[in-house]
Amino acid sequence: LLDDETNFNEELTSIAGERLFYWLLELLASRKYELGSVFSLVPNFDKCIKEHGDYKDYILKFKDSFEKVLDKKNIVPVKKGIANVNYIVYDTIGLTTSGIMTDEEFLEFADLEDVYLPLPILRSNKSFNRFLKNYAKKDLTFTVEDLHEMIENEQFQEWLKVQENNDKFLNFLLVN
């Protein structure tokens, strides 16, 4: 029974936002769908508000409840299962999809510990990258500036001394 102060639509909207997370998780676990397509189901909340401004309060309630669960639970497929988005590296320059180094080398050279890279199949998926753009932690977003810092890493410099690695890295820089 709801009291007079409770707005049923707001409560329902909050529940729906939370349930979206668990539905996405079920879809990922079922293995019946392409992983990237599951992440395409996460709404673009800013666009929703822009196009349906009369429902802004409900959209924000939905978004907030979705994000509360997202912040606490694991949803991103990684090599060892699933991880929380707060521990996922978002590679904006495509270094981890280039094939020039292993994931372990990337994490070592970028001086990243206790974090994960998404499954390779997701790294170049447009929907998944939109999801990461919105939800990955800013300090785990790998950018050109981070590449500059990585070049200063001694282990990376040693890796570059191997001619094949040097050639692959230079090719990556020329293509990208």
pLDDT in tens, 125-168: 999 999 999 999 999 999 999 999 999 999 999 999 999 999 99
User: How much is the mean pLDDT over the chain?
Assistant: 94
Mean pLDDT throughout 9-35? 94
Residues 6+ apart with CB under 8 A from 59: 45, 48, 49, 52
Q: Is residue 137 helix, strand or coil?
A: coil
pTM: 0.89
Amino acid letter at 63? K
**pLDDT for res 3:** 56
Can you list the alpha helix ranges (DSSP code H) found in 31-162? 35-39, 45-51, 56-72, 103-109, 120-123, 126-135, 144-151, 154-160
